[in-house]
Amino acid sequence: MKHIINALVENKPGVLAHVAGMFAARSFNIDSLVVGRTEDPKLSRMTIVVIGDDRVVEQVRKQLAKIVPVVKVQDYAGQPVVARDLMLISVAAPPEKRPEIFSLIEMFRGRVVDIGQKSIMIEVSGPESKIEGFIDVCRPYGIKSLARTGTIAMPRRNKAE
């Protein structure tokens, strides 16, 4: 089962290496890892997606909490969250196929970010299933290159907040 773990860490050099080293030393596999600054410039947020049972994920959470620059660790399992991935994909697009491709982009609420003579670069964001679906419909046209961010997530707030 996929678990999304959120770690609030000090925004200092070496923290990412320390966290990644902890995963490697304990043979935990990272499905995706995204790090970015928060509203506080002294802190960064790591969103780590781990595949494993509850016991494995609990060990990951406990080991993360022991790392000194880690301020807070939270497993989003069982909580309503908003989770998104971002992808840039370059698709072969000869002129006669462009109307079809533009229709797919619109269906998936993507954005054209660059157009070349033989290809189109598209930005798509959303749940991982949407990203995977868009990749699948682009395969017949020919995927030239692809870059993905991995998952970012935040818990949903109740309506009173």
pLDDT of residue 161: 56
User: Residue 143's beta-bridge partner residues?
Assistant: 91
8 in Cβ contact with 19 (< 8 Å): no
List domains and CATH numbers for the chain. Answer: 2-75 (3.30.70.260), 82-154 (3.30.70.1150)
pLDDT of residue 160: 59
Question: Does position 56 have pLDDT exceeding 90, yes or no?
Answer: no
Q: Give the E-state strand segments of the chain in sequence order.
A: 2-10, 30-37, 43-51, 70-75, 81-92, 111-115, 119-126, 143-148, 152-155
18 in Cβ contact with 3 (< 8 Å): no
pLDDT band at 99 (very low <50, low <70, confident <90, very high): very high
Which of 20-24, 114-118, 148-152 comes out lowest in average pLDDT?
Answer: 20-24
- SS3 sequence of 47-69: EEEEECCHHHHHHHHHHHHHCCC
Which of 9-18, 51-60, 74-83 comes out lowest in average pLDDT?
Answer: 51-60
Which pTM does this prediction carry?
A: 0.84
pLDDT band at 1 (very low <50, low <70, confident <90, very high): confident
Question: Does position 58 have pLDDT exceeding 90, yes or no?
Answer: no
79 in Cβ contact with 113 (< 8 Å): no
Mean pLDDT of 107-129: 97
Mean pLDDT of 29-42: 93
pLDDT band at 59 (very low <50, low <70, confident <90, very high): confident
Q: Burial level of 5, CB count in 10 A (0-12/13-18/19+)?
A: buried
Q: Report d(CA 94, CA 12) in Å as an integer.
A: 46
